[in-house]
Amino acid sequence: MLVDNDLLIDAGTGVADLSLAELALIDHVFLTHSHLDHIASLPLLIDSVSDLRDKPLTVYATAATLDIIGRHIFNWAIWPDFSVIPSREKAIMRFQSICLGQSVRLGERTITALPAEHTVPAVGYQLDSGLGSLVFTGDTTANDAFWPVVNRIANLRYLLIETAFPNRDQMLAEISKHLCPKMLANELKKLSIPAEIYISHLKPSQIELTMAEIQACAGDFKPRMLQNNQVFEF
């Protein structure tokens, strides 16, 4: 998710759709967690634009997530550690740890880490422009800690929530700590304020089935599928 040209929420394969000039404008990356579909483009992003930047790219995540990508990605065996290139003092990428509930202020925008429940340490994010907020759950399953926080967001406009599996795979959804339509419907009952709801993380081969089941289970909330190149203004 690209925000105002200079900020990414996660860095999955969709980042490859951006031009080199667009990549060079990105100063901040907020990671929800360490799974490959959320970080795949980060190593290539920093490598591609390193000579086009005059300040470091800052990667924000929980300490646990930064530890995982430091040990398993930016470890010189899989990819160079750009947090010490050309030196630790003048690195072209820097890691900034954030805690659950912590807010980062960037200009007029405030980004806050929200609770998520997944197979690895994970968070969601609230993006607050001052006039409105968008909440992205990231990868998560049933999560009672999430909803009281969201229900206190007075200017909430959009809720982007995952549903990875159809109902026939509910057991797999539970084991992998994702949602299926029945689970999504139960979660949305905990939402007490209005918001436009969009569904992310649909399995490509099961989009039609899963969205049909979502409409059957949670139709009163009118969830829509998140589209590529969709623009949210708030």
The pLDDT score that the predictor gives to residue 219 is 84
Over the stretch 60-98, which tens digit does the pLDDT of each residue have?
A: 999 999 999 999 999 999 999 999 999 999 999 999 999
Give the pLDDT confidence score for residue 115 in this predicted structure.
Answer: 98
Q: In the chain, which ranges are continuous DSSP H helix?
A: 20-24, 36-39, 42-49, 63-72, 146-150, 170-175, 181-188, 207-218
Domains belonging to the chain, first-starting first, are 1-98 (3.60.15.10), 100-234 (3.60.15.10)
CA distances 98 to 32, 58, 122, Å, are 11, 12, 11
Cα angle vertex 128, ends 64, 3, to 5°?
75
Between CA 23 and CA 44 the distance in angstroms is: 10
Instruction: Determine how many CB atoms are found less than 10 A away from the CB of residue 41.
Output: 21
Beta-carbon contacts of residue 232 (< 8 Å; ≥ 6 apart): 134, 157, 158
Amino acid 20: pLDDT:
94
Global confidence as pTM: 0.96
For residue 116, the model assigns a pLDDT of: 98
Q: State CA 177 to chain mean position distance.
A: 15
Residue numbers of the chain with a pLDDT score lower than 50: none
User: What pLDDT, on the 0 to 100 scale, is given for residue 82?
Assistant: 96
